[in-house]
Chain A
Amino acid sequence: MTVSRIGRPRTLALLFATGLLVSACGGAKVGEGSDGTATSATSGTDGKKPCGAVNIAINPWVGYEATAAVIAQVAEKELGCAVTKKDLKEEVAWQGFATGQVDAIVENWAHDDLKKKYIEEQKVAVAAGSTGNKGVIGWYVPPWMAEKYPDITDWKNLNKYAELFKTSESGGKGQLLDGDPSFVTNDAALVKNLKLDYKVVYAGSEAALITEFRKAEKEKKALLGYFYEPQWFLAEVKLVKVDLPEYTEGCDADAEKVACDYPLYDLDKIVSKKFADSGSPAYELVKNFSWTNEDQNLVAKYISEDKMTAEEAAEKWVGDNPDKVKAWLPTG
């Protein structure tokens, strides 16, 4: 018994191995053939300045990935850079400037605290201009609600409808569903200062928010929640923004007393000081890069709905938009 236990596999393995050896004779060998020639990533094109390695942080949301993929695509194909994408949460990505492991963050949502720390105090990062995308943060309702209750989009009417938004989580008040903790929220203060009969419930993640909105639209349930654009989900369900008291410069200075809407965010790019000073053509590319919300939404749609990889999506968009790409390339 004990012998056969090892013995049988042995014979099997030997038979198998010889069989494989015989059949393998005609197989292609590793390192040969069409893709065997090593692609030289570092050789610059047209005798321009060589690009070298670029580390781009990838923050975990689709819009960011769309922007980063397009920049990476252009950097690799047009400038011959060797791009490394690093999947990182925002704060960890900023830390990467200090440790020299991240060269660029290509879609930054304000983050004044991080700017202060890494740009002003540690002086390891510099701003590299707007991405051209405008970030909107606010309170949204599913489209069916805006249709049925047209006046709901004015915050003054929210108390009238508070009853609709009651859930098991909101303790007898209307529920205001807050989202991803990565984003700054003034919602608790807003509810208090606007004297709204609502309670902030923390959904805790983007996935939770999107699932809830998707369900609310499908089942015609009431939902008021924190959301933002550009965001791929808005192409699926066109959420309607509720107007809070208009934002004016400085109205959100005191976090406790804030009683106005969120500002319009100019999404920007941040690069490491080292990268900016290196004279790399990739820095020029990052600095020049600019596109519209529609552009990003399109690439994001390729990724989220059409299930392309970020690389495929970027390749397609770059192929379709040669003029926009040309404007980003370094001159001279």
Chain B
Amino acid sequence: MTATPASTAGGLRRLPGWSRRYLLTAVVAAWVLIWVFVQGRDTFQLGGAELTPLHLRINEASEVIDNGRNDNPFFLYFVNYIRLFLDEAVTFVQALISRPSFGRPLPVIGWLGVVTVATAVALLWGNLRVAVLTVAGFASFGLLGLWEESMDTLALTLAAVVISLLIGISLGVWAGVNDRFNRLVTPVLDFMQTMPTFVYLAPLTLFFLIGPASATVATVIYAAPPAIRITAHGIREVHPATLEAGASLGSTAWQLLSKVRLPLAKRTIVVGVNQTIMAALCMVTIAALIDAPGLGKTVIKALETLDVGSAFNAGLAIVIMAIVLDRVTSAAGRRVETRYRAGRSRGPGRRRAGIGAVLAGTGVLVYLSHTYVWAAEFPSEANLGPYVRRGVDAATLWAQDNLAAYTGAFKNAVSYGLLNPFEALLTDSPWWLIAAVLVVSAAILANVRVVLVTVACLALLVALGLWQDSMVTLASTLVATVLVMVLGVAFGVWMGRSDRVDQLVRPVLDAGQTMPPFVYLVPILGLFGATRVTAIIAAVVYAAPVAIKLTADGIRGVSPSAVEAATAAGSNTWQLITKVQLPMARSAVTLAASQGLIYVLAMVVVGGLVGAGALGYDVVAGFSQLQLRGKGLAAGVAIVVLGIMLERITRAAARRADAEAHGAR
């Protein structure tokens, strides 16, 4: 140790990596030691129905907004016009594909027409493979007996995605070229992505009324941030040398953007489109709580009677929609890339003829579906929904009869062995002790700026009056994140090393990400009871796919020559993974960890619905009871604050670890 424990964070920067690890261990040891003596003091307990003055003030403030709604010009002119526009847009798409309209008993375009249009889009922008997938996917909506519901969901999702992209890509470009705007917008995006939807769902219906507009806005709030972030990232990634070359040729700033940056960032932007679609589909069930039409309603209705089969049936349709949309946009993205690389080589005349044929065929089928009942209304005899439902019901019953003993044992082992002691350490420590531990850890792991952010976040948590609930949530969140990372590394390595495994596992991961949690809550409740472990498992199901995908990407990105060299030097598979592939994919793994954490936090509210209590429950209660509204809002903010604090610490730590690893090499 060259530098003895330095008093300033700046001094700590010179510490080598290993001594930092010892310091951290020492901090934790000191924490446990002090905890033994002072536990139970200054823990800021607050009962379920108790409120702090801040919560009451938030209640009052929202009252004032409620009451002023009718005579406020902001509402009369601005919000009302947005609402009108959104309502009309969604209703129009619904009239086209899902609802009886224009005096007809059926929508303008029937099932055959919709399937054809979707397939033609997949064929023209993607390739034959995704076109076949599209036919199968769209047909399955009808086969599951959910054609109309699926079309409602599609209408709403498309509207929300288009608006998210209009906003997202333009703001993303701005954030890509303007550093100050980027710094300004980043915390806002964090806020939008981690603030639980339940917090703003009820107020939204005051602004945008009950109807498609509110549902669209709720979806946009959640789905636009990925588009903004990823677009900005793509614009930023454009190599400075390319820009300089452009500038030296006398391009104006606008030309640089439109001729150099945007074309080069196109592929990344398609990834953003992709993520936006996935995020939009995540909102389907929650939006159903404010009367958004579609599959979400089916899921919620099924949940009322604990009808797992019906919920799964509808959830399956959502997953299929997500997979189809994802594959088509990805294929379109790859095509953009190959065309960019290869230049235009295809005979333009022939291609044009092909396009013409596809369009003509589409036109014929659309006309048929407009005119004839058999092509307009999906034949109800071809309904496989009941079989799916019965199958799932039987599987659920079997699982509950045969697995409950094991899952119960697992739940107890995790609860008593890990969760309870950890939670006790967090909740029984005085707040100042935890604050000190976090600040010192931030100083050891990160830098001065992050220390300041940590201090601010801690102050906010104290001020919000939900300290103890925050600590309970923190405990579960950290345990879930550890599980997510165990899965992320294990499956990520497996997938990254084999394309076949990747192809097999990926649809399962997509399902985990888009299957509405409400669908599998009842079965896992049956297995693990209304406990924190159930909440943790729901979070892992949702968050692990992201961590796995990112890790797999990183492993695949390790240069083949390094792998070959190690193999030639006689490394076995285990050595190859642990000594070469994982260390070289370190930055991907840390990205996986921080994203995994954010996704786990996104499930805190769902956790509140299945027995995790704490912040998640506070948010749900605030959504359900008027007098708890302020507390719910405060809990939502607390979740955001926890997210920002943990994310900043891990990211800074990762960056530093990365820099050290490179410096050492």
Asked if B11 is an interface residue, CB under 8 A from chain A, the answer is no
Residues of B within 8 A of A53 (CB): none
CA distance A92 to B205 in the complex (A): 7
- Do A28 and B623 touch across chains, with their CB atoms under 8 A apart? no
Report whether over half of chain B's contact residues are helix, strand or loop; otherwise say mixed: helix
CA distance A191 to B306 in the complex (A): 30
Asked if B184 is an interface residue, CB under 8 A from chain A, the answer is no
Residues of B within 8 A of A35 (CB): 105
Which of A24, A91, A117 has the most chain B CB atoms closer than 10 A to its own CB?
A91
CA distance A87 to B302 in the complex (A): 13
CA distance A303 to B310 in the complex (A): 13
Asked if B537 is an interface residue, CB under 8 A from chain A, the answer is no
B609-642 vs A, Cβ < 8 Å mask (1 yes, 0 no): 1111100110011011111100000000000000
Asked if B347 is an interface residue, CB under 8 A from chain A, the answer is yes
Cβ-neighbour of A204 out of B205, B297, B368, B617 (below 8 A): B617
Chain B interface bracket (under 10, 10 to 19, 20 to 34, 35 or more): 35 or more
Cβ-neighbour of B357 out of A6, A36, A206 (below 8 A): A6
Asked if B578 is an interface residue, CB under 8 A from chain A, the answer is no
A86-130 vs B, Cβ < 8 Å mask (1 yes, 0 no): 111111100110110110000000010110010000100000000
**Nearest residue in A to B346 (C-beta to C-beta)?**
A2
Q: How far is the CB of B212 from chain A (nearest CB, A)?
A: 12
- Do B66 and A91 touch across chains, with their CB atoms under 8 A apart? no
Asked if B73 is an interface residue, CB under 8 A from chain A, the answer is no
Q: How far is the CB of A165 from chain B (nearest CB, A)?
A: 13
Q: Which of A132-140, A146-154, A208-216 contacts B (4 or more CB under 8 A)?
A: A208-216
Q: Which B67-102 residues have C-beta < 8 A from chain A?
A: 67, 69
Residues of B within 8 A of A101 (CB): 209-211
- Do B365 and A181 touch across chains, with their CB atoms under 8 A apart? no
Q: How far is the CB of B290 from chain A (nearest CB, A)?
A: 6
Q: Which B312-355 residues have C-beta < 8 A from chain A?
A: 346-347, 350-351, 353-355
CA distance A128 to B288 in the complex (A): 27
Asked if B243 is an interface residue, CB under 8 A from chain A, the answer is no
CA distance A35 to B110 in the complex (A): 17
- Do B608 and A204 touch across chains, with their CB atoms under 8 A apart? yes
**Nearest residue in A to B617 (C-beta to C-beta)?**
A202
Residues of B within 8 A of A253 (CB): none
Residues of B within 8 A of A189 (CB): 47, 49
Residues of A within 8 A of B376 (CB): 30
- Do B105 and A181 touch across chains, with their CB atoms under 8 A apart? no
Asked if B364 is an interface residue, CB under 8 A from chain A, the answer is yes
Q: Which A17-39 residues have C-beta < 8 A from chain B?
A: 17, 20-21, 24, 27-31, 33, 35-36, 38
Residues of B within 8 A of A113 (CB): 625-627
Cβ-neighbour of A96 out of B210, B289, B373, B532 (below 8 A): B210
Asked if A278 is an interface residue, CB under 8 A from chain B, the answer is no
Q: Which B262-310 residues have C-beta < 8 A from chain A?
A: 288-291, 297, 300-301, 303-307
Asked if B370 is an interface residue, CB under 8 A from chain A, the answer is yes
Q: How far is the CB of B400 from chain A (nearest CB, A)?
A: 8
Residues of B within 8 A of A13 (CB): 357-358, 361-362
- Do B608 and A3 touch across chains, with their CB atoms under 8 A apart? no
CA distance A282 to B375 in the complex (A): 38
- Do B297 and A212 touch across chains, with their CB atoms under 8 A apart? no
CA distance A101 to B616 in the complex (A): 30
CA distance A139 to B612 in the complex (A): 20
Q: How far is the CB of A15 from chain B (nearest CB, A)?
A: 10
Residues of A within 8 A of B411 (CB): 168
Residues of B within 8 A of A111 (CB): 626
Asked if B246 is an interface residue, CB under 8 A from chain A, the answer is no
Asked if B372 is an interface residue, CB under 8 A from chain A, the answer is yes
CA distance A24 to B368 in the complex (A): 8
Q: Count of chain A residues with Cβ under 8 Å from any Cβ of B?
A: 81
CA distance A30 to B109 in the complex (A): 11
Q: How far is the CB of B466 from chain A (nearest CB, A)?
A: 14
Residues of B within 8 A of A244 (CB): none
CA distance A169 to B416 in the complex (A): 9
Cβ-neighbour of A92 out of B48, B202, B360 (below 8 A): B202
CA distance A200 to B49 in the complex (A): 12
Residues of B within 8 A of A171 (CB): 420
CA distance A171 to B420 in the complex (A): 8
Which of A65, A98, A99 has the most chain B CB atoms closer than 10 A to its own CB?
A99
Asked if B251 is an interface residue, CB under 8 A from chain A, the answer is no
Cβ-neighbour of A10 out of B48, B357, B613 (below 8 A): B357
Asked if A255 is an interface residue, CB under 8 A from chain B, the answer is yes
Q: How far is the CB of B472 from chain A (nearest CB, A)?
A: 11
Cβ-neighbour of B526 out of A90, A91, A181, A211 (below 8 A): A211
Residues of A within 8 A of B307 (CB): 304, 307
Q: How far is the CB of B343 from chain A (nearest CB, A)?
A: 14
A170-195 vs B, Cβ < 8 Å mask (1 yes, 0 no): 01000001101110111111000000
Asked if B498 is an interface residue, CB under 8 A from chain A, the answer is no
Cβ-neighbour of A20 out of B353, B368, B608 (below 8 A): B368
- Do A200 and B354 touch across chains, with their CB atoms under 8 A apart? no
Residues of B within 8 A of A89 (CB): 202, 289-290, 623-624
CA distance A4 to B610 in the complex (A): 54
CA distance A211 to B533 in the complex (A): 15
Q: How far is the CB of A282 from chain B (nearest CB, A)?
A: 19
Which of A211, A215, A303 has the most chain B CB atoms closer than 10 A to its own CB?
A211
Residues of A within 8 A of B532 (CB): 169
- Do A185 and B415 touch across chains, with their CB atoms under 8 A apart? no
- Do A88 and B290 touch across chains, with their CB atoms under 8 A apart? yes
CA distance A90 to B364 in the complex (A): 47
- Do B358 and A20 touch across chains, with their CB atoms under 8 A apart? no
CA distance A310 to B463 in the complex (A): 47
Asked if A60 is an interface residue, CB under 8 A from chain B, the answer is yes
Instruction: Give 11 A-B pairs besides A3-B354, A211-B526 with Cβ atoms closer than 8 angstroms.
Output: A5-B127, A6-B353, A10-B358, A30-B110, A65-B304, A87-B297, A91-B626, A169-B530, A189-B49, A204-B609, A208-B530
10 closest residue pairs by CB, A with B: A6-B354, A13-B361, A10-B357, A168-B415, A181-B621, A203-B530, A182-B624, A304-B305, A27-B372, A211-B525
Q: What would be 29 A-B contacts, judged by CB atoms less than 8 Å apart?
A: A2-B351, A3-B350, A3-B354, A5-B354, A9-B358, A13-B357, A14-B361, A17-B364, A30-B104, A30-B371, A33-B373, A65-B304, A92-B202, A168-B419, A168-B533, A169-B611, A181-B617, A181-B625, A189-B49, A202-B608, A204-B620, A207-B522, A207-B525, A208-B521, A208-B611, A211-B530, A212-B525, A214-B306, A304-B307
